Amino acid sequence: MSEHISVMPERAIELLDVRPDGIYVDGTLGRGGHSKLILERLKSGRLYCFDLDEEAIEKSKVFLKDYDNVTFIHDNFMNMKKYIDHADGILLDLGVSSPQFDEADRGFSYRYDAPLDMRMNKEDEFSAYDIVNSYSEEEISRVLWQYGEEKFARRIAAKIVENRPIDTTAQLVEVIRSALPAKALSKKGHPAKQTFQALRIEVNHELDSLRNFLDDFDEILNIDGRLVIITFHSLEDRMVKHCFKNLSTVKDDLRIAKTPDQIEKARYVLLNRGDKASDEEIEINHRAKSAIIRGIRKVYGKDR
């Protein structure tokens, strides 16, 4: 099993600009790498950590045992405002952690034979098995196209339905291979990558969680507070980029003469335009290759 390495940790902490007395949230705890860097900078402040994976929380409690100013919450980060009414900074790392990929029985990886699962929260009943074996051909095709941007979605969906029941990741990989033309199979990269991504997103409602969070986080963030998000595929990044652009754009027409108190102000400012990992980091941690980090700071609005 590989050790989990946090992606762009120094850049994340730089953008978050942790204050010693602040209230911070790690919305995707994982194995606690980013959380530890935040806690090293906190003195009288507090860190709240969310994760759907109870095993990740238990292991992070051991990893972070030297800190008593951290609270662990077993829930989806989209429910953050149920637990916290104000924060000076929020960090989301939307990648699946290395242990989740590399523990074969979790069913996240196309590289290991395992039962079809892909649940981040083991308490959930719905799994990848249910999608593959109970969704209609049209529904499977939609999932693969919408969440995996798989251009052979229809062919793969038809083959899945034709070969049901499919119980394991290895069986699914073979079905995917059988659906693809030789030209697609000869391309670089694993032929099942996009399908597995799409199934994982559907199982865990990942884009819905991100969408709901982006609708709500402003109610939590203090003035001068920062939100930093690390994405790993274009669907997530487009959502984050669009949200940040809207929040940092003045929507009022400044050509119309108005008094200062009538002019709508941009409520946020961008901290960057989207940074990628360095070649050196990618060499050490290949999962950083697709990562993009974006940050935004609140400058106007109701303080907490």
Q: Which domain holds residue 152?
A: 115-205
Which one has a higher pLDDT value, 35 or 122?
35
Q: What is the CATH number of the domain that holds 186?
A: 1.10.150.170
CB 81 within 8 A of CB 75: no
Residue 98 predicted with pLDDT over 70: no
Number of domains in the chain: 2
* 3-state SS string for the chain: CCCCCCCCHHHHHHHHCCCCCCEEEECCCCCCHHHHHHHHHCCCCEEEEEECCHHHHHHHHHHCCCCCCEEEEECCHHHHHHCCCCEEEEEEECCCCHHHHHCHHHCCCCCCCCECCCCCCCCCCCCHHHHHHHCCHHHHHHHHHHHHCCCCHHHHHHHHHHCCCCCEHHHHHHHHHHHCCHHHHCCCCCCCHHHHHHHHHHHHCHHHHHHHHHHHHHHCEEEEEEEEEEECCHHHHHHHHHHHHHHCCCCCCCCCCCCHHHCCCCCEEECCCCEECCHHHHHHCHHHCCCEEEEEEECCCCCC
Identify which of 237, 231, 244, 225 has the alpha carbon closest to the alpha carbon of residue 301: 225
Residue 105 predicted with pLDDT over 90: no
Determine the pLDDT at residue 287.
Answer: 83
Q: Per the domain annotation, does 104 fall within a domain? A: no
Per-residue pLDDT tens over the stretch 80-91: 999 999 999 999
* Type of residue numbered 48: Y
Determine the pLDDT at residue 254.
Answer: 46
Determine the pLDDT at residue 129.
Answer: 97
Residue 121 predicted with pLDDT over 50: yes
Does 211 lie in the same domain as 199? no
CB 118 within 8 A of CB 124: no
Per-residue pLDDT tens over the stretch 247-291: 998 765 544 454 455 446 788 999 999 999 999 999 998 889 999
Average pLDDT, the chain: 91
Which one has a higher pLDDT value, 251 or 186?
186
Does 176 lie in the same domain as 29? no
Q: Per the domain annotation, does 239 fall within a domain? A: yes
Q: Per the domain annotation, does 123 fall within a domain? A: yes
Residue 124 predicted with pLDDT over 80: yes
Residue 127 predicted with pLDDT over 90: yes
Q: Per the domain annotation, does 283 fall within a domain? A: yes
Does 193 lie in the same domain as 217? no
Residue 93 predicted with pLDDT over 70: yes
Task: Evaluate if pTM is beyond 0.75.
Answer: yes
Q: Per the domain annotation, does 268 fall within a domain? A: yes
